[in-house]
Amino acid sequence: MYSEKVMDHFSNPRNMGEIEEASGVGTVGNAKCGDIMRMYLDIDENGVIQDCKFKTFGCGAAIATSSMATELVKGKTVEQALAVTNKAVMEALDGLPPVKVHCSLLAEEAIHAALWDYAQKNHIEIEGLQKPKSDIHEGEEEPEEEY
Ligand code: FES
């Protein structure tokens, strides 16, 4: 049911933990399953993500997608990190079962929430970034929806 990559990132998650005095922190939750994900970003003065860590209180797919999402945004600029959609995370994991697509949306939303926090703290605007919703329970019904 799960790809080898999903199993790998679930059993051996990368970048789990927290960053003290992070440049941006985002916490999101899914009302339906009750899972919660928090992302920490360390962003340098050039807008490059030097480090990214996560804490996820959630299902295995949520842990695997958090782990992969942190790997994908590391070393990217904030603008490039915005392009790390849930689809990109799922592709990098060789797919997720349809009922688990909403878990990957949580990862995308957590990155956006952390970027939003960073932008707020620095009084900047990141083009294309919208104020994140804290609750993204629509994912299951509309897996194609773009956030
Ligand atoms: Fe809730 Fe996976 S079941 S995030």
Predicted local confidence at residue 134, as pLDDT: 59
Q: Cα of 33 to ligand 1 centre, how many Å?
A: 6
Q: SS3 helix, strand, coil % of the chain, rounded to 5?
A: 45, 20, 40
Q: Cα of 62 to ligand 1 centre, how many Å?
A: 6
How far, in Å, CA of 106 to CA of 86, rounded?
8
How far, in Å, CA of 104 to CA of 139, rounded?
9
- What parts of the chain have a pLDDT lower than 70? 134-147
Predicted local confidence at residue 139, as pLDDT: 43
Predicted local confidence at residue 91, as pLDDT: 97
For ligand 1, whether the C-beta of 73 sits within 6 Å is no
